Amino acid sequence: MKLFTNKKKLQKEIKNINNISFVPTMGALHKGHESLIKKSVKESNKTIVSIFVNPKQFENKKDFNSYPKTYKNDIKILKKLKVNYLYKPSYSDIYNFRTKNKIFVDKFSKKLCGQHRKGHFKGVINVVNRLIEIIKPKKILLGKKDFQQLYLIKKHIEKNRLNIKVVPCKTIRDKNFIAYSSRLRKLNRYQNLNLIKIIKVLRNYKNNLICKKTRYNFNKIKRDLLYAGAKKVDYIELIDLKTLKKPKRNVYNLFFAFYIGKVRFIDNF
C-alpha cells in the first residue's frame, strides 16, 4: 500500500488509472469500514481509502478534538485488506484550492440530523467534493448507516453531472444488532450495556409496528430510551426510503439519533 499526504504526489501516481474506487473515512476503522473496503477491493481495479477527520463538519471543537484516532491499527487493517492507496491529507492539502463544482445541498439536509447539527451536511459535502475533485474516482462506496449523508452526496454528484457511481453498502452490526461506529470506542462498560438495551427497545418497537401491535408514539418511545440509559434523544422518525417522507406504505426505516453520555449515535433499520 502506498501512502500519500500530498495531493499533487497522489495525483501524479494515479493519473493513468482510469478505474479507481474510493472509500472516504475518518479513520478509527472498524468492521463497518472493512466491509466497504473489502467490497471495493473485490469489485474494482484499484482502491483508494482516505482518512481525514474534517473539522468543518463538527459543530464544536471539543467533539472534533476527541474524535477517536487509531492510526497504527488503521494502517494494519488497510494493508491486510490489500488497499492500493491511502490518502491521509493535512487540513491545508484539502482546503487550499478552489473547487470546480458547486456545493449542492438538497433539501433533505434539513430533516433528521440536519435539525440538530447546523452546517454539518454542508461540511460533509464540501470535504467529499474536494476529495473527489482530487482523486477523480469512478466509484465511491458509502454506508447506508449514514443514509442521509449517502443520499445528499449522491444528489451533489448528480447535480454536478459527475461521472461517479455511488455504491450504497449495507450496515454491519455486532451480535446485539449494534452498528459498528468509531465513536463507540468512547463508551465505558456500563454505557455499552445501556446501548444494548436501547437498541433492543428500538428493534422491538419497529417489529411491533410492523405487526401493527402498536402505533407510532414518539413521546412514549423517547421515554423508554431515556429510561434505558440514553442521555438525550434528538429524533426517532419513520421515513419511507423512496419518498423520504412519513411512510404511507409498509416500506420504511426507523431513523434515530441519541446520546449516551457525550457520545452521539445514529442508525436506521
H/E segment holding residue 252: none
Closest approach of ligand AMP to the CB of residue 181, in Å = 5
33 is catalytic: yes
What distance in Å separates the CA atoms of residue 156 and residue 151, rounded to the nearest whole number? 9
Q: Is 169 in the site for ligand AMP (CB under 6 A)?
A: yes
Q: Annotated catalytic residue: which of 30, 33, 120, 156?
A: 33
CB closer to ligand AMP, 10 vs 179? 179
Query: Which DSSP symbol is given to 178?
Result: P
Could you give the count of Cα atoms lying within 13 Å of 223 in the half-sphere of its Cβ?
Answer: 3
| Size of the residue set binding ligand AMP (CB under 6 A) | 17
As measured in angstroms, the least distance from the Cβ of 223 to ligand AMP is: 27
Under the binding rule (CB under 6 A), the answer on residue 179 touching ligand AMP is: yes
Which of 47, 57, 181, 194 is the binder for ligand AMP (CB under 6 A)? 181
Residue 89 is a binding residue for ligand AMP (CB under 6 A):
no
94 near ligand AMP (CB under 6 A): no
C-alpha cell at 76: 494494519
Does 53 engage in binding with ligand AMP (CB under 6 A)? no
Minimum gap (Å) between residue 168 Cβ and ligand AMP:
9
Burial readout 72-106 (b: 16 or more C-beta within 10 A, e: otherwise): eebbebbeebebbbbbbbeeebbeeeeeebebbbb
The full DSSP string for 16-81 is T---EEEEEE-SS--HHHHHHHHHHHHHSSEEEEEE---GGG-SSHHHHHTS---HHHHHHHHHHT
120 binds ligand AMP (CB under 6 A): no
CA 130 from centroid of its chain's CA atoms:
17
CB nearer to ligand AMP: give 20 or 224.
Answer: 20
Q: Considering only residues 13 through 32, tell me which ones interact with ligand AMP, judged by CB under 6 A.
A: 25-26, 32
Task: Find all residues with CB under 8 Å of 219, minimum gap 6, and list them.
Answer: none
Minimum gap (Å) between residue 218 Cβ and ligand AMP: 25
Please tell me the distance from the alpha carbon of residue 81 to that of residue 78, in angstroms, as a whole number.
Answer: 5
Q: Name the residues that contact ligand AMP, by CB under 6 A.
A: 25-26, 32-33, 35-36, 142-143, 145-146, 169, 171-172, 179-182
Q: Which positions are catalytic? A: 33
